[in-house]
Amino acid sequence: MAILINEQKLVDDNVFQYENRLNSSISRFLDKSPTFVTYYHVNYQETTMDGGFRDIEEILGNRSPLKFQKIENFPLYGIDPVVLNITDSEQGLDTDYSGEAVVLPNTIKPLQNDFFMINTIKGSFIFRVVAIQYDNIRPDNFYKLEFRFEYLDEEKVDNLNNQVHERFTCLLENIGTENTCLIQEEYMDIVNKVDSMYHDMVQTYKVIFYNERYNCFLGEIEGGKKIYDPLQTVFFNKHKLLNRKNDLKTIVLTEGFVDPKRELKYEKSIYRLFERRDTKLIRPLYYNTFPAMYKKDSQFYRWHDQSIYVADIPVLPNLEGDINLLPLEIANSFKMNGPTESKYIELMQKFIRREEISLYDIPLDLNEELLLLDANEEVFFFTPILLYIIKTTMTNFLSSK
């Protein structure tokens, strides 16, 4: 397999990533293992008490005015492992045990009388936050909390849960990104379903079209010929459509050969049309093909492969033999917001018209509808666009929650 590498770009990208890592407010914790806890964060908006906690008859129980936000899978750093080894003594549980932990930036602002729980084979250990310190050297820095062991009692677990007003799940991979890391429980189901469908679409697309020899996707056109679209490769790599967070098995596609006009052609492509989302630019989008063997700097030439053709944007479109990626019927439907019978065309139409799209608007059987098209040209060209729409919608959804 031949791979073309821009060495300067590779160095620049890695230096940039290293600099970002050094400047990140969470860089000092990236190589440490967090302790994942169930965190009970005091919800001031729902709590009926004064700010000093002086009128509280009890913190947990039926007479407590405290209400909590329950956060599953919340990471705390710097917890001493001895916390997990608390044992019974002759005097009972060592209730004087205390420790410190670190809360990462852009997660929550911990409060006194927050609780967190660590589940062990001995039971659920419940700790209470007794003091907060803020590292104010940098404006986005961390909180250090001091905590004390309080309970090893299932009744107290029930009390905590009875005082919960809102429930969240923490997405560790979103910490340090523009996306919120705390997702309300009611939204997690749709997030997981759409994410699962997205990656099912990616895997299906790879099974059908991925060619390991050339490290690219090859569609099929008339006469059993294979088609390669270098602009599609740019689109895939640009938006990291094949990448799954925390998955080391990812693909960076090979662009195949050098084309000095590739950036200009990309501006005229169907992929750029959906990036710009401008209905004034909707028009028939033609492409033609030429044998990949013509490009002597390509891996196709090196393998002497005569079955592969390259999709190319012509200088003068709509000549004999050109193929239209956006037929008049679909183009008019996009422009006029006309009715459609296809779920994926409807989604593309909403997106390009800048209509508000929620995760709930994404059909969860989109992958099945695409399979019914039997790996035709629409599946080859439209699936990357649908992946881009889903990924963009997911990012927007998580940013707003």
pLDDT digits (tens, 9 = 90+) for 137-170: 555 578 999 999 888 888 899 999 999 999 999 9
Q: What is the average pLDDT across 194-220?
A: 94
Q: What is the pLDDT of residue 199?
A: 93
Q: Output the pLDDT for position 281.
A: 93
**Would you state the pLDDT for residue 140?**
59
pTM, whole model, 2 decimals?
Answer: 0.81
pLDDT score recorded for residue 43: 87
What is the spatial distance between Cα 225 and Cα 138, in angstroms, rounded to a whole number?
Answer: 59
Strand extents, DSSP E, 77-160: 88-89, 92-93, 98-103, 115-120, 123-134, 143-151
Residue 234 pLDDT > 80? yes
Strands 143-151 and 226-228 come out as unpaired
Mean pLDDT in residue range 264-293: 94
Whether the Cβ atoms of residue 76 and residue 37 lie closer than 8 Å to each other: yes
Task: Indicate the pLDDT class of residue 27, thresholds 50, 70 and 90.
Answer: very low
Does position 14 have pLDDT exceeding 90, yes or no?
A: no
Phi-psi region of 343 (alpha: psi -120 to 50; beta: other; left: phi over 0): alpha
DSSP assignment letter at 90? T
Q: Which of 38, 40, 76, 36 is nearest to 166 (CA)?
A: 40
For residue 75, the surrounding DSSP H or E stretch is strand 68-76
- End-to-end Cα distance, the chain: 43
pLDDT of 110 above 60: yes
